[in-house]
Structure 1
Amino acid sequence: MQRKSMKNSPCAIARTLDVIGEWWSILILRDAFQDKRRFTEFQQSLGLAKNVLSSRLRKLVDNGILEVAPASDGSAYHEYVLTEKGRSLQPVLTALNEWGEAHLPKGRRGVSAAKK
């Protein structure tokens, strides 16, 4: 089933979820806040198919959450860097983490723990 776009919704939560509500996008942002910048770093951390990762990164870039920058080491690669708009999502991710820590059993393994 195809998701309905909420980008024109009068509800700010719905509009926000239209941009970052897909769970891989949230996990990409988590990794970006943990200083992952390269495609291969995201892929290794998440175990995500290249086409799906490319699509999610492109959407985050298109919406001004991430930007593409030359690699910080001077190599021919590029990196995905949080923009000011992206950095302003930190309290959202912190709240999700705190809620999960408070309300989900510690024995459950999430994506990041299962892939290590």
Structure 2
Amino acid sequence: MAKSSNDLFSTLRTYISKVTEGEKSPAEVAAALNGWARESADALKSKIHEEVEASVAKMGFVKRDEFDRLAAQVAAMKSEASTKKASAKKTAPKKPVAKKSAAKKSAPKKKAVKK
């Protein structure tokens, strides 16, 4: 941080000397400083984003959009599986029904006639 503050003060001194020497107008200096501030803010945001991404990845978390994409894939797979299961039930060959064996009836025995 000390280096960037030194850079800032150095830049400000340069701009102030250019304004006092009449090389630049105060509006030009203000526009230049505004541009520099925007660039610095963008660089800082980018660095913070990178650090947060790295920390989150180390902790094992996933981004919300990654989670939503995976959840959608799982839902699609479940839907596909249930569709396949339903169509398999409709087209499944019928199991042959086991025929019950007819019990053999023995012919009624004739009674012996006594003579």
| Pairwise TM-score range, normalised by the shorter structure | under 0.3
Higher Cα Rg, which structure: 2
Q: Which has the higher contact order (CA 8 A, sep 6+)?
A: 1
The structure richer in strand per residue is 1
TM-score (norm 2): 0.24
